[in-house]
Chain A
Amino acid sequence: MRLEEASVLLVDDEPLLLDMLREFFEHLVGRVFCAGDGVQALQILGRQRIDLVITDIRMPEMDGITLLKRIKAGESHTPSLIFITGFADIGARDAYDLGAEALLEKPIEWDDMIEIARRSLAEPWERWEKPVNLTASPVLSRSFGSLSSAFEEHRIAFGRGGFCIGNSEFLEQGPVNIALDFMADEYVLSGQGVIRWLASEENQMGVELTYVADKSRARAIKLMERASSFIPRTTESNYQKLAA
């Protein structure tokens, strides 16, 4: 879906910020709705078909995480969801696991926000078709016996937008080149991504895919489209869903 046709719900408890978000999106998207907290947001979601929710995480009454859970639990259409947060480190892992597409940090880079909103409304093959220049970035390169053994051994778990994997290279948050080789399947998932979160104690990290090479893209979409998480919170979590 194109941004210009979408219905967007903005949720923030900071009235001035909410005001400005509204002004900003008003002439960019189809329709704009505003809510001061999660409860109001759910009321609007119950009345209107919303394509994209852009919400603050920390709010009185009902916070963004709870709002997302409630949306997921609802039977109606599930919109894409972008979080705005003062601190990307708070709850990022849970947010992606619950299915949030992005976490935007305050102060907001408005142009980035439009880009992210566009992407989250786009289908995967559109999202992953454009590489950027990442020659200076590190490489996340891993070989697995097969997809099934990698899942069974909990070495990787895929979400809708990326994967959770062990961080044996001690990579930092940020852009990364990706080459995952599943040998028995003769499948190499190559592309680019961004490390969104690190759980150093568990030695795991969440990686969002931003580009998938043409030859591996179709299989990647097939592999990942059924997941409910955007990025699973552990390598164990998604395996069970895939197995079921």
Chain B
Amino acid sequence: MVEDTTKRNRAEGELRLGNEIIAKMQGALYLVRANDGAVVYANPSFEKMFGYDSGEIIGKHVSTLNAPTGKTPEKVFQVIVAELTRCGHWRGEVLARRKDESTFWSSVIVSTFDHPGFGKVWISILQDISALKHAEQTLREQAALLDLAHDAIFAADVKDRITFWNRGAKDMYGWSAEDALGRMAYELLHTRFPSSFEEIKATLQTQGEWEGELEHTTRDGTTITVASRWSVQRDESGAPISFLEINRDITQRKRAEEQLRNLTERLSLATHTASIGIWELDVRTDQVEWDNTTFAIFGIPRTVPLPREEARRHIHPEDVPRVQAASRRAVQRKTQESVQYRIIRPDGSVRYISTAEGPILDEHGNVVRLVGTAVDITERKEMEAQIEASARLSALGMMAGGVAHEINNPLAIIHGAAVDLLRRVRACGSVPLDIALRNGERIVETSNRIARIIKSMRHLAREGSHDKVRPTPVTRILAETLEVCRERFKNYGVNLLLPNLDPALSVSCRQVQIEQVLLNLLQNAFDAVTEQPGERWVRLAAVTQDDAVEFSVTDSGPAIPQQLKSKIMEPFFTTKDVGIGTGLGLTLSRRIVEDHGGKLELREENGHPCFSFRLPLSSHKEPYAA
């Protein structure tokens, strides 16, 4: 008995201890009778956790404690029962339901036990893991956010093994998270470091982060350049526990940068080789920046910074207003402008410069800078002047050929009159007074005619571009022009059709230049029709249209073929045989007409080519007389 008592005492003592442990333990413990699922015991922690009064839960079915998730509480119960029946215990997470219907995630361990009083029961020990679950959820959300980032983001532990690999990393490198997790990052990605890995590690240690460019090789073998940011996470003691690496693919940018650099180098080489100066004007600071070529063109040593005023000092004083006007236009109208001007080099030589400039706008559309080119066109100018001179000479040559036609008839008259006088004197020793008078008058009258022709020719051979624009009677323009070509038309049987003009009709022009244009058009028309068989005519017209007079020259030749129309006014274009014409006539004519504010146009008149241009009618109120 003693033994029994001792035994029983010991057993009672153990039971009390057990009860006390159960009552005091943090975890919720409850017993469920296996045959009906009713709760038969719940410890105080349970009652506190679930919000029940003492003993209140006893007798209720266990599924009361479970909230519906994807499955119903009954289904959860069946799953657990099945597992318990199979192997005697179950472990899992359950969404628990408090008395007030609120829920929390719990971790549950269930095992079976033969209770002396209740028979077969399930012992459930349950812990509130809602805080953990919440943290997990947050983590998942963060990971999902990280997946949204286009950057490759991955984490590695202190042994450089990858512990996190976002979707951006998968997209960038072609390795999935399964491929990457646990691998050494620098091995997987064949990282090429700008300095050594150890140095980067050291920087991370001391500064907590590192930034730089790395080269990685993706799964398909492509090498990419990334902008990389590394940071370190530490525990409370400050010891590193993981490294986070965020990489952005800058391969395209690098390539673009490279291309831009190449392009800039090439452009620079090209502009240098072509002697094209590049300059920039900062509109806000009025500072000018020139490249070396521009300095070379201006013949001055490199100066930085270069105030605009200083740059302007090298421009020919007469041309400064034009240069400034062009820049002003470019800024105000935000347009591309070009201007030709002269500069004076320090050695006193004058060079011709051609500039094209355009505005650079900020994001608000304000002009912040002007960028332009500068090309020395002195040689070109000289060549143009030579070509023009030779074109004028060639026109003169053609006119000289024309002289023969123009003065042959009058010369024949003078010659005839003189011969007649001589013959009479020789035959009779004297000349009757009336015959002498008549022949004398013929000689004077005809000499005057020749003098007029020569005067017109000299007049027409003048350069004329510096003459003043004056009101000029149209009849005078036509008379002077025709004086030097009328006979030629007659000699070749070309019918020259002329307008009947009001002698008061006047246009504003540089007379000589307009006569040159008309003569050139008449000459072209003449050349065109003399090549043609059949009827030959050239019609010169001057028609008043609104406040202008349209001059036109039409010839009986066939219309100019479409493919020649656009070329016909280009320099050096000619359809004439070698030696006839320089191909500059129409170009110069067009220039003269454009200088007069008009346009030399080619159209068709009843299938015949017609060149025309307009000059403004001159008002008689103008201060200077014609």
Contact = CB atoms under 8 A, between A and B. Distances in A.
Interface of A: 14, 16-17, 20-21, 23-24, 58, 60, 63, 86-87, 90, 106-108, 110
A106 B490 contact: no
B418 to A, nearest CB: 10
Residue among B411, B419, B487 with the highest chain A CB neighbour number at 10 A: B419
A108 B416 contact: yes
A14 B420 contact: no
A110 B423 contact: yes
Interface stretch (B57-65, B286-294, B402-410, B505-513): B402-410
Contacts of A17: 409, 412-413, 416
A107 B411 contact: yes
Interface string B468-499: 00000000000000000001001111000000
Contacts of B445: 16
A110 B421 CA distance: 12
A108 B409 contact: no
B417 interface: yes
Contacts of B254: none
A108 B493 contact: no
B345 interface: no
B415 interface: yes
18 contacts: A14-B409, A14-B412, A16-B446, A20-B416, A21-B416, A23-B420, A24-B420, A58-B490, A60-B490, A86-B404, A86-B405, A86-B487, A86-B491, A106-B411, A107-B408, A107-B411, A107-B415, A108-B416
Interface in B484-539: 487, 490-493
A60 B487 CA distance: 11
B404 A63 contact: no
Contacts of B408: 86-87, 106-107
A86 B493 CA distance: 12
A204 B411 CA distance: 32
Nearest to B446: A16
Contacts, number: 56
Interface residues on B, range: 20 to 34
**5 closest A-B pairs by CB:** A107-B415, A106-B412, A86-B408, A107-B412, A20-B416
Contacts of A60: 490
Given A87-B404, A87-B405, A110-B419, A16 B413 contact: yes
A21 B442 CA distance: 13
B104 to A, nearest CB: 116
Contact of B413 (A20, A23, A58, A90): A20
A108 B420 CA distance: 12
B448 to A, nearest CB: 12
Given A16-B442, A23-B420, A108 B492 contact: no
A24 B491 contact: no
Interface in B404-459: 404-405, 408-409, 411-417, 419-420, 423, 442, 445-446
Contacts of B442: 16, 20
A87 B405 CA distance: 8
Contacts of A23: 420
Nearest to B442: A16
Given A14-B409, A90-B491, A90-B492, 11 more contacts: A14-B413, A20-B416, A20-B417, A23-B420, A58-B493, A87-B404, A87-B408, A106-B411, A106-B412, A107-B408, A107-B414
A87 B487 CA distance: 12
Contacts of B423: 110
B134 to A, nearest CB: 108
A87 to B, nearest CB: 6
Contacts of A86: 404-405, 408-409, 412, 487, 491
A17 B442 CA distance: 10
